[in-house]
């Protein structure tokens, strides 16, 4: 990204405000182009002869600094790379780290299928969405092409997840690809020994390819060789060494490659990066009694490279103590820091409330909302929850910033037609908004009770304060 504002993008657009893109103005379209919510193809005039040069230049300027690579097909396809900045607070990161969990070709068939199902079906509810993982890596442990191909076939029968085929043996990879070439798997990995064979396979099957070398000069040479041969969908693996000086050097290589691609503009190495935290098992997990330590160490390494700068990673442990923190960190790092995570304002029914049930009030900041909703519903308190539009900001900050005030309470009561549901005209506001109670009563005409500062204390508060005399 060489453009820093919608106005800079607008200069390359026709400027006719023709609305063919679906937006009212070219400037609005320019803003959505920057956010990758619109594509250049949605502006037909830009491809007319009189604007063609502008369109070509704009496409170059909007192209991300790190190439975007896609694996898989259909709804399950996952994009990686495509980043423009070194740090998310500079703008945002767009394509979250693709989490890939492994199976291997020496597993018994039922064990294999069961593990594939567990990976495919895993999900965890977090701040309004279900977190899931993304892909499955199939490792050749046997070293036998036919065995590997049979394993790939079985995995493909169980899941529509994107696949990563793992072997340094080109013949093994080729046999596996014959089973799933139409599903656009990532092949792993070409190195200085096998690159000619892998280059031929990538060209023949038209699939993304991983290049491996801890030597950055060699890695750059491999990338230039493959790109010169017409292979554009490249992923780089500078090696993941799980302890001591090896881990320090791994970290350094990831930072150097990303800096070269973004800050220095070196397009020869500006490709997505793959980390392999499961190498922790090579050091810590050789014995069954060390499995717990290995899974923890794998998660620590994964967390390090989620932050700096893995676009895809291969992992082993699907135990909750390892998988949940890794997936949660991905969700947090790849949330746009410029926009609060929010829910739709509205009046929610929790349990089976009646016209005499309590009316609680909260903001539409997602973390606040889901915490309050969970604390009320888990304690089986039949009630209404009025979610006020605070521009996605939490209670204390919204009170301080003026987004949450007596007028916003009044607007919510009227727009959600709360009086049609609640007849006692009593609302319970958060303890952190206590200073708004008097003004809110004056503006709304409702009785205001101040609830606890922590929604986890609502059950105890209810015992002492509900129902009040106005409701009895």
Predicted confidence at residue 146, as pLDDT, reads: 97
Identical fold for domains 6-62 and 346-465, yes or no, is no
Residue range 6-62 in CATH 3.30.530.20: no
Residue 85: φ, ψ to 5° = -130, 160
Predicted confidence at residue 246, as pLDDT, reads: 94
- The DSSP-derived string for 340-363 is --B---EEEEESS--TTS-EEEEE
For the chain, the structural domain boundaries read 6-62, 68-333, 346-465
Q: What is the CATH number of domain 346-465?
A: 3.40.50.11600
- 402's CB contacts (< 8 A; 6+ apart) are none
Helix (H) or strand (E) holding 332, with range, is helix 320-333
Predicted confidence at residue 85, as pLDDT, reads: 86
Protein fold of 68-333: TIM Barrel (3.20.20)
Helix pair angle (216-228, 195-205), 10° resolution? 40
- Residues of the chain below pLDDT 70: 1, 285-289, 471-472
Predicted confidence at residue 313, as pLDDT, reads: 98
Predicted confidence at residue 1, as pLDDT, reads: 53
Give the global pTM: 0.81
* Joined tokens for residue 64: 């991300």
């Amino acid at each position: 990204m060489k453009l820093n504002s919608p106005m800079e993008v607008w200069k390359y657009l026709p400027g006719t405000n023709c609305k063919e893109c679906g937006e009212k103005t070219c400037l609005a379209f320019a803003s959505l182009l920057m956010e990758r919510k619109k594509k250049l193809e949605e502006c037909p005039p830009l491809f007319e002869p009189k604007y063609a040069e502008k369109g070509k230049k704009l496409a170059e300027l909007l192209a991300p600094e790190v190439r975007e690579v896609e694996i898989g097909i259909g709804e399950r396809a996952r994009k990686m790379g495509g980043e423009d900045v070194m740090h998310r607070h500079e703008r945002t990161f767009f394509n979250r780290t693709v989490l890939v969990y492994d199976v291997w070709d020496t597993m018994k068939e039922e064990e294999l299928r069961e593990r594939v199902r567990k990976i495919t079906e895993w999900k965890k509810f977090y701040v309004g969405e279900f977190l899931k993982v993304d892909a499955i890596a199939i490792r050749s442990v046997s070293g036998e092409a036919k065995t590997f191909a049979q394993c790939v076939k079985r995995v493909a029968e169980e899941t529509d997840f994107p696949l990563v085929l793992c072997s340094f043996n080109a013949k093994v990879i080729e046999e596996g690809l014959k089973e799933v070439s139409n599903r656009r798997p990532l092949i792993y990995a070409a190195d200085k020994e096998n690159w000619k064979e892998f280059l031929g396979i990538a060209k023949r099957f038209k699939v993304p390819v991983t290049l491996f070398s801890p030597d950055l000069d060699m890695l750059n040479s491999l990338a230039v060789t493959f790109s010169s041969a017409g292979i554009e969908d490249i992923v780089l693996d500078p090696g993941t060494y799980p302890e001591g000086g090896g881990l320090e050097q791994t970290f350094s290589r990831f930072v150097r490659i990303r800096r070269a691609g973004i800050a220095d503009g070196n397009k020869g190495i500006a490709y997505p990066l793959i980390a392999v935290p499961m190498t922790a098992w090579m050091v810590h997990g050789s014995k069954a009694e060390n499995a717990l330590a290995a899974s923890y160490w794998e998660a620590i390494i994964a967390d390090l490279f989620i932050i700096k700068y893995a676009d895809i990673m291969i992992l082993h442990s699907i135990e909750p103590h390892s998988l949940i923190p890794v997936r949660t960190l991905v969700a947090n790092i790849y949330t746009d820091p410029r926009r609060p995570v929010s829910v739709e304002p509205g009046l929610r029914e929790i349990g089976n409330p009646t016209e005499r049930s309590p009316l609680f009030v909260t903001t539409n900041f997602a973390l606040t909302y889901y915490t309050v909703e969970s604390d009320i519903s888990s304690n089986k308190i039949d009630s209404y929850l009025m979610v006020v539009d605070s521009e996605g900001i939490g209670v204390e900050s919204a009170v301080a910033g003026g987004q949450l005030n007596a007028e916003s309470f009044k607007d919510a009561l009227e727009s959600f037609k709360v009086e049609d549901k609640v007849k006692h005209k009593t609302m319970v506001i958060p303890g952190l908004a206590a200073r708004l109670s008097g003004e809110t009563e004056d503006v709304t005409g409702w009785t205001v009770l101040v609830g606890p500062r922590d929604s986890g204390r609502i059950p105890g508060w209810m015992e002492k304060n509900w129902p009040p005399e106005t409701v009895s």
